[in-house]
């Protein structure tokens, strides 16, 4: 899962083809993407709650990516998520992104609210104690 700075779609394609690495990122407002296809999905399936669209897009770099448009049922905020993964249900793509956002909030709490700048130690036990 990548932040909005992950826009090197040729690199995404290379990672997918060469290493089986798939990325998910939130689209930037000023991205110029062209819709080249629609993916069918079951909007009634629980996993797809909040999914508005599942589209195949062409980037300015000539790479095909998938865009899942998702509306958070709690906040109403709409997210355009880009991914190189083409087979998972669109709601699962949104769920994975949402989980990564929750993890980032925890790291932000450590860094900003608790003033933790580095790990206390390098062992597994030390890291577990610090995390708790």
Mean pLDDT of 49-72: 93
**Mean per-residue pLDDT of the chain:** 84
Q: How far apart are CA 90 and CA 43, in angstroms?
A: 10
Evaluate if residue 130 carries a pLDDT over 80.
no
Dihedral sign (CA 128, 129, 130, 132):
positive
Q: Please give the angle made by the CA atoms of 46, 47 and 51, to the nearest 5 degrees.
A: 100
Residue 15 or residue 94, greater confidence: 94
Is the pTM here over 0.85, yes or no? no
**Cα distances (angstroms) measured from residue 70 to each of 17, 31, 39:** 27, 17, 14
pLDDT confidence tier of residue 21, bands split at 50, 70 and 90 = confident
Mean pLDDT of 93-121: 72
Evaluate if residue 69 carries a pLDDT over 80.
yes
Mean pLDDT of 90-119: 75
């Amino acid at each position: 899962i990548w932040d909005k700075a992950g826009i090197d779609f040729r690199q995404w394609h290379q990672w997918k083809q060469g290493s089986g690495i798939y990325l998910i990122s939130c689209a930037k407002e000023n991205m110029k993407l062209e819709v080249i296809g629609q993916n069918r999905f079951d909007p009634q399936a629980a996993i797809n709650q909040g999914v508005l669209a599942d589209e195949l897009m062409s980037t300015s770099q000539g790479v095909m990516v998938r865009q899942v448009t998702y509306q958070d049922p709690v906040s109403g905020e709409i997210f355009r998520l880009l991914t190189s993964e083409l087979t998972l249900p669109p709601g699962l793509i949104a769920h994975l992104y949402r989980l990564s956002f929750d993890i980032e909030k925890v790291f932000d709490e450590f860094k900003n609210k608790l003033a933790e700048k580095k790990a206390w130690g390098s062992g597994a036990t030390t890291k577990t104690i610090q995390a708790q």
